[in-house]
């Protein structure tokens, strides 16, 4: 037993040593008694120059991955956070309350390209889900109809995994490990960070208090520690009293895994995947509220998707969420109808 634990610990240390520079966390509160609510951090070594974008329905999309590029027309309107002045959505929610989040996973290895199968850029994976599906089940039923292909953005190819949640409280984590798709589907898959692969994260969790083990909850910023810490606080979160309480609960948990701006990782794990938190989003999937909070601006801003006409002929509205003049409900800034 001691030898087995020693081997496991050496493996986890190696995982931390090869981690890369884009790390994030997602936390899904789906049993608070009020509304399924999900929070996400964006932790990155440089600014991703985010844009907050509202998309209408019926937008023609093209994956731009070669001859077999996937093409589609969006069925649902959505709000997303895009990166590096591109259409690559790293986070978002659609009008039906489906949320999607792309996070870094250096162990990702997508399958070899099949020339007979439509290909989807991994950078558009989240947007594709938001454009086409109402529920997690819907998204998973369609996942074998296309292949994921890594494409370059900002001079880099990003190995990504996907988390999705819906207004019914369902959730899934989708990874590609050694060229094979791994799907973790169910209400209990509520936290995602980065390295290592998800099954190893789940096994590591069992070593800690409240999950069958005796180890105290870790406080360092590496992905394994963040996974355990978020899981612990989510496990202990009481039922919410109202919508505001539900949002406050998940917001308070995501703050425990935020990496302080400019902080140095002195944990001894030598992980590169502990970069500062740039921004946080929160999505209330039942009430269709989407919140954004930047580390470098003091104001919390939000968008109410129920105020939008997603059948509008106007394709999209975009805004810089880092604009310090923005505060509170900015729905009208993104084209919502004035009440």
Question: Is residue 339 assigned to a domain?
Answer: no
pLDDT digit string, tens, across residues 161-195? 999 999 999 999 999 999 999 999 999 999 999 99
Buried b (16+ CB within 10 A) or exposed e, 298-337: eeebbbbbebbebebeeebbebebbeeebeeebbeebbbe
Q: Which of 73, 79, 125 is nearest to 101 (CA)?
A: 125
Q: Which of 39, 42, 157, 54 is nearest to 108 (CA)?
A: 157
Question: Is residue 294 assigned to a domain?
Answer: yes
- 10-residue mean pLDDT profile of the chain (339 residues): values are 43 40 86 98 94 98 94 98 97 99 96 94 99 99 97 95 99 98 98 96 97 96 95 96 97 96 65 77 99 95 97 92 97 85
As a whole-number percent, the residues of the chain with pLDDT over 70 amount to 89
Buried b (16+ CB within 10 A) or exposed e, 176-188: bbeeeeeebbeee
pLDDT digit string, tens, across residues 17-27? 334 445 799 99
Q: Total domain count for the chain?
A: 1
- Integer Cα distance of 210 and 224 in angstroms: 16
Residue 92's domain comprises 2-334
Dihedral, 247, 84, 156, 14 alpha carbons, nearest 10: -20
pLDDT digit string, tens, across residues 263-305? 766 655 555 455 899 999 999 999 999 999 999 998 999 999 9
CATH no. for residue 136?
3.60.60.10
Is the previous residue joined to 222 through a cis bond, with omega within 30 degrees of 0? Answer: no
* pLDDT for position 293: 98
């Amino acid at each position: 037993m001691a030898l087995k634990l020693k081997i496991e610990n050496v493996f986890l240390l190696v995982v931390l040593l090869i981690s890369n520079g884009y790390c994030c966390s997602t936390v899904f509160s789906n049993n608070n008694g009020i509304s399924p609510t999900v929070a996400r951090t964006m932790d990155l070594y440089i600014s991703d120059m985010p844009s907050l974008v509202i998309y209408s329905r019926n937008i023609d999309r093209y994956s731009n991955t070669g001859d077999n590029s996937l093409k589609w027309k969006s069925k649902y309107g959505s709000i997303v956070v895009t990166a590096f002045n591109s259409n690559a959505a790293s986070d978002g929610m659609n009008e039906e309350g489906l949320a999607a989040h792309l996070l870094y996973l250096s162990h990702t290895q997508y399958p070899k390209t099949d020339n007979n199968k439509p290909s989807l850029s991994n950078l558009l994976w989240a947007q594709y889900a938001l454009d086409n599906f109402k529920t997690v089940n819907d998204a998973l039923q369609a996942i074998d109809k296309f292949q994921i292909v890594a494409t370059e953005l900002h001079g880099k190819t990003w190995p990504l995994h996907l988390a999705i949640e819906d207004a019914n409280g369902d959730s899934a984590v989708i990874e590609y490990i050694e060229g094979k798709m791994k799907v973790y589907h169910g209400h209990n898959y509520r936290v995602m960070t980065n390295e290592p692969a998800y099954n190893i994260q789940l096994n590591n969790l069992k070593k800690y208090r409240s999950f069958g083990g005796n180890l105290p909850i870790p406080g360092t910023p590496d992905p394994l520690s963040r996974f355990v810490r978020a899981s612990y606080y989510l496990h202990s979160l009481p039922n919410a009293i109202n919508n505001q309480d539900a949002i406050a609960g998940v917001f308070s948990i995501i703050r425990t895994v935020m990496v302080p701006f400019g902080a140095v990782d002195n944990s001894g794990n030598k992980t590169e995947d502990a970069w500062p938190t740039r921004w946080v989003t929160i999505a209330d999937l039942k009430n269709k509220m989407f919140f954004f909070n930047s580390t470098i601006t003091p104001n919390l801003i939000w968008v109410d998707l129920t105020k939008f006409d997603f059948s509008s002929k106007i394709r999209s509205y975009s805004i810089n969420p880092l604009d310090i003049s923005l505060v509170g409900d900015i729905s009208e800034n993104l084209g919502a109808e004035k009440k």
